[in-house]
């Protein structure tokens, strides 16, 4: 699957803004739209930046996919700022708890919405 460079931007009013450049597939971006994102206090104490990712807040950067992969092999998937895919918050389909994307074991677990705890205790 081809991966592209994406630009993310949220204007948070007087608190500031959240932006980033990151690598992802088109499918990952399509799946992310409409999902909850929780950044926490990234703009200072008590800022609690969160919201629902909407269409247009992530835009594809016109850059050859071969170049994207070469640079990603050096820099990783997040090139600068914040990658909203790393801060996605899903509700576990078993226990109902909100779970951050990085707390799931695999991408398959994210698709099935089953947190590590429930996966371990339901097998």
The whole-number mean pLDDT for each consecutive block of 10 residues of the chain, a chain of 123 residues, reads: 97 95 96 93 93 97 97 96 93 89 82 86 72
Burial bucket for residue 30 (CB in 10 Å: 0-12, 13-18, 19+)? exposed
Predicted pLDDT of residue 117: 86
- Total domains, the chain: 2
Q: Which of 10, 1, 8, 2 is nearest to 78 (CA)?
A: 8
Indicate if 83 and 28 belong to the same structural domain.
yes
User: Is there a single domain that holds both residue 12 and residue 70?
Assistant: yes
Verify that 68 and 119 share a domain, yes or no: no
Q: Are residues 84 and 98 in the same domain?
A: no
Token output for 116 = 């590590």
What pTM was estimated for this model as a whole? Answer: 0.84
Provide the pLDDT for residue 79. Answer: 97
Q: pLDDT value at position 16?
A: 95
Query: Which residues have C-beta within 8 Å of that of residue 115, sequence separation ≥ 6?
Result: 92, 94, 95, 97, 99, 103, 104, 109
pLDDT of residue 123: 59
CA dist 74 and 1 (Å) reads: 19
Q: Which residues lie closer than 8 Å to 80 by C-beta, 6 or more apart?
A: 20, 21
Range of the domain at 96: 92-123
Looking at the structure, tell me whether residues 109 and 77 fall in a common domain: no
* 118 within 8 A of 55, measured Cβ to Cβ: no
Residue 82 in tokens = 């914040």
């Amino acid at each position: 699957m081809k991966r592209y460079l994406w630009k993310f931007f949220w204007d948070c009013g007087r608190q500031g803004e959240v932006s980033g450049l990151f690598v992802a597939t088109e499918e990952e971006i399509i799946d992310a739209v409409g999902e909850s994102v929780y950044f926490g206090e990234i703009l200072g104490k008590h800022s609690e930046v969160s919201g629902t990712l909407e269409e247009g807040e992530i835009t594809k950067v016109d850059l050859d996919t071969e170049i994207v992969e070469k640079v990603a092999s050096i820099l990783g998937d997040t090139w600068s700022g914040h990658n909203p895919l790393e801060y996605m918050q899903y509700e576990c389909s078993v226990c109902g708890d909100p779970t951050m994307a990085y707390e799931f074991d695999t991408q398959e677990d994210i698709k099935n919405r089953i947190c590590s705890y429930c996966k371990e205790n339901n097998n």
